């Protein structure tokens, strides 16, 4: 590890990409939640976040049950 002078309230961290040692205030988190130096940071590619098409709300304006013809009951089968 590299020698860095003592700074009160700071702590040393290592960049997850290049491995350089620096103070935590000199690093940032990237979109993969890795602690990286400002030279290694890159924005997330927009193609990894596809645009979502909103779903249409198609409600039936006046829902009613179908009117079915009366079905023969079990007792009507004897009459056939």
Predicted confidence (pLDDT) per residue in 12-32, tens digit: 999 999 999 999 999 999 999
* % residues pLDDT > 90 (the chain): 41
Query: Binning pLDDT at 50, 70 and 90, where does residue 64 land?
Result: confident
Burial of 23 (0-12, 13-18, 19+ CB in 10 A): middle
Closest CA to 38 of 48, 29, 47, 49: 29
The answer to whether 30 and 36 are in contact (CB under 8 A) is yes
| Domains parsed from the chain with CATH numbers | 1-41 (3.30.60)
């Amino acid at each position: 590890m590299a020698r860095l002078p003592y700074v009160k309230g700071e702590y040393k961290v290592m960049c997850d990409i290049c491995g350089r040692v620096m103070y935590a205030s000199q690093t940032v988190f990237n979109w993969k939640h890795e602690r990286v130096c400002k030279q290694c940071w890159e924005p997330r590619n927009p193609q990894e976040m596809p645009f979502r098409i909103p779903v249409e709300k198609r409600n039936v304006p006046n829902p009613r049950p179908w009117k079915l013809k009366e079905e023969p009951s079990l007792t009507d089968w004897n009459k056939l």
